[in-house]
Structure 1
Amino acid sequence: MENNSSKRPYSLDLASSLLATLLIITLMYLTQSVLVPLLFSILISIILFPLARFFERLRFGKAFSAILSVIVAIAIISTIGWFIVHQSIIISKDASAITEKVLSVFERLQVWIQQTFGIERSQMMDKLQEQGNKALENTGSLLSSTFGSIGNTLAGTVLVPLFSFFLLYYRDFFREFFFKTFKSTPQRKVNEVLNKIYEVVQSYLLGLVTVMGIVAVLNTAGLMLMGIDYAWFFGSLASLLMLLPYIGIAIGSILPALFALAVKDSAWYAIGVIAWFQVVQFLEGNIITPNIVGSKVSINPLMAIIGILLGGMLFGLSGLILALPFIATLKVLFDAIPSMQAIGFLIGEPEKEHLKTNSTQELLMKWGIVRKPRNKQKVHLDVHVDTESTPAKTTLNYKEVNESVQNPYENLSEESGNEKDGEK
């Protein structure tokens, strides 16, 4: 009796868990100016770890190897940034010609709308002016948010390399911290979980970089075949937007489609650009990414989309990028904790048995809710002995009879009925 009274009710445990989760999310939101650079630094240090180990094998020392690895990362990111800025400057030189073609396209659009829907140009201009006035009203808040994001970006450019260096240099120190934190857990299991997190996140990041390179080549090839100028720029920019899962390539197709609409004589070029990018997105999602990333990052699309939306609500654009590796890390942790394995199962990908047409019946039988159906088989034997022949001849005939399949719910309903009668 004492044990029952001292045990807390489930509702209290659930309320405390929800309250703790709410406090953690609130703390993450309030500290995002430091937390977001730290999370990006963790991802960068994970992807740089093999390079740091390579420099250490060359006997450069742990600190110098970490510095060299961070410098290599800065050089690569700076090269990509220079390429985007340089190409943007080149494209902007033709801005006047592009603007004239855009205006002519807009003029033809106005004529088509007037002929199709009967809307006068003056009405369209009034609507545009109204929307423009609404946009000007929010200019102050837009500028403040823009400068705020620029400030966060500048802070990130300083903090991320610094954090990445210390994460690489102090990596064994942090590993021992986890050993000390989870003393009650077998240290071998703690070490396995840390290694699993590293493998999952690294395979996601390296796979993402590889897929981005393949997608950039496919995008560029399609744009070149259609004769679109600056194909390498538009193709590479769309592949970089894959940092935004599920929507990156679709967003990246808008800019080259508008460019094709402006510089080409037919709108079919813009439609062709969008169609080709959608084909590339289909290939990436169904063939390229599954074969390169493999089954190490097993997150079902529903949970991935929910995580991306929540990450965007919490951290904005940075949350969209950080969502998938963060969810993959949570899945590894949940799989290692017995009380959280159900949530880890929910995050993971369904197995083939869950997607069959008769999966419900198999699931109920797996968990013992219904009995397995069985066939009642009988064999009829007919033995005939001919005593007149010498020697005696014996003939054996048999026939297999299969009776109807047993209804798996039949016995269950009878038993439940008997139980009810017994209770009465």
Structure 2
Amino acid sequence: MFFMKNDSKKIPYAIDLAASLFAMALLLGFMYATETVLIPLLFSILIAISLYPLARLFERIRLGKATAAILSVIVAIAVLYFIGWFIVHQSIIIGKDATAITNKVMSVLDRAQRWVETTFNVQRNTMMDQLRDQGNKMLSNAGAMASATFGSIGNILAGTVLVPLFSFFLLYYRDFFREFFFKAFKSTPQSKVHETLNKIYTVVQSYLLGLVTVMGIVAILNTIGLMIMGIDYAWFFGTLASLLMLLPYIGIAIGSILPALFALAVKDSAWYAVGVIAWFQVVQFLEGNIITPNIVGSKVSINPLMAIIAILLGGMLFGLPGLILALPLTATIKVIFDAIPSMQAFGFLIGEPEKEHLKINATQELLIKWGIVRKPKMEKKVKIDIEIDNDEPAPTTTVRYKEIHEAENNPYENLPQQDVPKKNRDNN
């Protein structure tokens, strides 16, 4: 992890960026050289982060920190043991019917050979010779394959001991490791270090818990589809395919091969195998577009292109463990890049595009945003005519009067003189 101050006055941006990239290249080289120890350590970190809420729960009921860490690791071992037992137990049950399944597989292969012979005019003897040559090549490499197999078994056995041990110490010494980061990055505001560590924890835990939830939903969907098609051992095949989701983007597709072959062997029609593959593809579509986005959400924001590149690079560096570790490591690297001023552009590149980047006129808006082009002015003038319509009639004044003739009685004749209007006094 690297934290740097944004001091562009002292260090040019190009030098700062080159130093960061060089440090990252050295880190990748170190990771490749220490793969034997690093892979169990990375898996232990992921397990410790996922077990942290359980450890805190044990601590709240007044258990010691060491006891809480040990109990959390034991719970994780029990869950993994149950999953392994379920897979092995179902494999043994399926193996009891191996003779019948083998006969049907051989009949399917025989029909396939006849179809190839009829369609492509390839003699069966020629096909057998080619198969025999491939078998001889495989036997010639048996020594190397055995060495690689025993080496992998040795790594697995070492991992079964190291991973629980590392996970315990990571839980027990978690505050000790946090203070290490505070001491290692004194030049950086401690609040920023604390915030970045918390964000890494949130991102990784959201990914792990979301992955477990999605795996459970996918296992149920796979099993329902296999049961509808009448495939035996539906729970086994459905759960196995969901566990292969540890391999992002390709896990469900790989998991559909085994039940498809089983359906091809035990069913009378090949359409059952086609139906198995088609249903698993539907489940994979639902998982990638509906289930995972709504459960994991935007907390693990990695765009699909960078995710695929990360998976390929992880496989090149560490093989199968690298495929499993690729996405959580990439999410962690994004959080670190966002905290380093000189690497924020690369953190932006790893993240998901915003809605404004996916619009039709996104290019024009982007150029305007960065001041490359000016915002276009309105060429047409808009004329606004305002008319005032006043239909109310003009106010009128009505004057009413009465004309008094001499022949008529004078209305003022009985009034006192001072009450008579001046103009009428002369008439009295």
Q: Same fold (TM over 0.5)?
A: yes
Shift of 1:19: 4.5
Match of 1:131 among 134, 137, 148: 134
In the TM superposition, what is the alpha-carbon distance from 1:29 to its structure 2 partner?
A: 1.2
CA distance in 2, matches of 1:57, 1:169: 15
Pairing of 1:95-110 with structure 2 (within 5 A): 95-110=98-113
1:15-57 per-residue CA deviation (whole Å, 9 max, x = no partner) reads 6555443332222111111100000000000000000000000
Distance 1:64 1:11, change over 3 A: closer
Give 1:256's match in structure 2, choosing from 246, 259, 277.
259
Q: Work out which of the residue numbers 221, 228, 231 in structure 1 matches 2:231.
A: 228
Aligned residues: 384
| 1:242 corresponds to | 245
Deviation sequence 1:238-281 (CA, Å, 0-9, x none): 00000000000000000000000001111000000000000000
Residue 272 of structure 1: aligned partner:
275
Moved over 4 A (4+): 6-19, 380-386
Alignment of 1:377 with 2:381, yes or no, is yes
Relative to 1, partners in 2 of residues 1:182 and 1:122: Cα closer, same or farther, differing over 3 Å?
Answer: same
The structural deviation recorded for 1:10 is 7.8
1: distance between equivalents of 2:38 and 2:268? 49
Would the aligned equivalents of 2:214 and 2:287 in 1 still touch at CA under 8 Å?
Answer: yes
1:181 aligns with 2:181: no
Matching residue of 1:310: 313
Gaps of 5+ in 2: 1-8, 396-428
Counterpart of 1:248 in structure 2: which amino acid? G
**Counterpart secondary structure, 1:377:** coil
Give the Cα separation in 2 of the matches to 1:213 and 1:323. 21
Matched with 2:73 is 70
Deviation at 1:113, TM superposition (A): 0.9
Cα-Cα RMSD: 2.1
Distance 1:131 1:319, change over 3 A: same
Q: Distance in 1 between matches of 2:255 and 2:71?
A: 33
Q: Which amino acid aligns with 1:294?
A: G
The whole-number CA distance in structure 2 between the counterparts of 1:192 and 1:22 is 26
Distance verdict in 2 for CA 1:99–1:9, change over 3 Å = same
What does residue 160 of structure 2 align with?
157
Match of 1:407 in 2: none
Residue 117 of structure 1: how far off its partner (Å)? 1.2
Write the distance in 2 (CA, Å) between the matches of 1:181 and 1:164: 23
Structure with the higher strand share, 1 or 2: 1
Q: Structure 1 372/15 Cα, relative in aligned 2: closer, same or farther at 3 Å?
A: closer
Q: Which moved more, 1:14-23 or 1:262-271?
A: 14-23
Q: Is 2:324 aligned against 1:321?
A: yes
Maintained 8 Å contact 2:16/2:342: no
For 2:278 and 2:376, the matched residues in 1 are separated by 50
Give the superposition deviation at 1:379. 2.2
Measure the CA separation in 2 of the matches of 1:112 and 1:66.
Answer: 60
Note closer, same or farther for the CA distance 1:98–1:12 as it changes in structure 2 (3 Å cut).
same
CA contact (8 A) 2:206 2:300 kept: yes
Quick one: distance in 2 between partners of 1:88 and 1:203?
32
Distance 1:141 1:377 in 2: 81
User: Which deviates more, 368-377 or 99-108?
Assistant: 368-377
Aligned to 1:412: none
Percent of residue pairs bearing the same amino acid type: 77
In 2, the alpha carbon distance for the partners of 1:380 and 1:48 equals: 69
Partner of 2:348: 345
Please report how far the alpha carbon of residue 151 of structure 1 lies from its aligned counterpart in structure 2 after TM superposition: 0.3
Indicate the SS of the match to 2:383.
Answer: strand
Q: For residues 283-316 of structure 1, give each alpha carbon's deviation from its aligned partner in whole angstroms, at most 9, with x where no partner exists.
A: 0000000000000000000000000110111111
Name the residue aligned to 2:408: none
Structure 1 residues 118 and 141: CA distance shift in structure 2, 3 A: same
What is the CA-CA distance between 1:115 and the residue it aligns to?
1.3
Larger Rg: 2
Distance 1:144 1:167, change over 3 A: same
2:358 corresponds to 1:358: no
1:91 aligns with 2:94: yes
